[in-house]
Amino acid sequence: MRVLFPIGSAASGGAWRGRWRVFVLLGCLFQAACVSLQPRLGSAAAAWRPSPNFEPRRANYVILHHTSNDTLEYALGVLTHPLSGVSSHYLIGRDGQVLQLVDENQRAWHAGASMWGGQTDMNSASIGIELDNTGNEPFPPIQIDALIALLRDIRSRHAIPRANVLAHADIAPERKSDPGILFPWRQLAQAGFGLWCDPPWIRPPEGFDALLGLAALGYNTRHPAAAIAAFKRRFAPNDTDTELNAENHALLYCLLRSPENISPESP
């Protein structure tokens, strides 16, 4: 919009130019479009779709989610709406398209009430990645390939241990199940992200306390049934028993003993 002032008025000449710069700056601060002009730390391969829902912080974890939506557009609308109160750093479509919503150095709002290894403010300590998926469908190979490429990209900027690539269900077992039992955790571990153990497993020593083992791995065991369900959802998705059996004990012991138990890109 152009604003006209009469020649010779106090707003003309140099005074007007100075005021105009101030007006432009103030206007920019209140325009959502100006958010896209800010510098960002993130993947050059991702299209920048800024969300206003973030705060500063430093990341030491990656948390994986599924959107529970049918379309990327719907999920993007929720994650970037100023009134939704939710966001993530990245959103990956079923076709492998990668969108960045929040700078990696900023605190996105994706983890909610959660805990891992005694850390209770996971939003402040993590990078959130949403995968466009209903939670009841297989993840397309092109989407997982895009995720692995993004994780490698993130690792080039942050010294995030492989063990710290987690599921939302891992950190909030009482209320979350994503990214679900169909997520290919073994494939991710083969690429160097997240833990995994293939059988045969070593029998744990006599007196091995599986609940303490879950806590040592990172789970919040205040509600044991929820922690057990989250552990099985990720590491033994075909096991529907609500209790930990001898095989689960051996699997858990393997994860605790040998975090590098599976070689990258192994068959």
Closest CA to 132 of 180, 184, 91, 89: 91
Q: Which domains does the chain have, with CATH numbers?
A: 1-30 (no CATH), 47-257 (3.40.80.10)
130 classed as catalytic = yes
pLDDT greater than 80 at residue 30? no
Q: How far apart are CA 235 and CA 255, in angstroms?
A: 10
Per-residue pLDDT of 212-262, as tens digits, reads 999 999 999 999 999 999 999 999 999 999 999 999 999 999 999 865 544
pLDDT for 259 equals: 56
Q: Which amino acid is at 2?
A: R
Per-residue pLDDT of 85-143, as tens digits, reads 999 999 999 999 999 999 999 999 999 999 999 999 999 999 999 999 999 999 999 99
Interval 13-42 mean pLDDT:
44
Sort strands 126-131 and 61-66 into parallel, antiparallel or unpaired: parallel
Band the pLDDT of 52: cuts 50, 70, 90. Answer: confident
Q: Is the model more confident about 48 or about 64?
A: 64
Q: How far apart are CA 151 and CA 92, in angstroms?
A: 12
Active-site hit among 55, 130, 243, 260:
130
pLDDT for 123 equals: 94
pLDDT for 260 equals: 54
Residue 218: C-alpha distances to residues 46, 87, 119, 166, 256 (Å): 31, 24, 9, 10, 10
Q: How far apart are CA 37 and CA 172, in angstroms?
A: 34
Interval 27-49 mean pLDDT:
61
**Long-range contacts: 239-244, Cβ < 8 Å, 24+?**
244/210
Band the pLDDT of 263: cuts 50, 70, 90. Answer: very low
pLDDT greater than 70 at residue 164? yes
Band the pLDDT of 54: cuts 50, 70, 90. Answer: confident
Lowest mean pLDDT among 82-86, 165-169, 258-262: 258-262
SS3 category, 25: helix
Sort strands 106-108 and 54-56 into parallel, antiparallel or unpaired: antiparallel
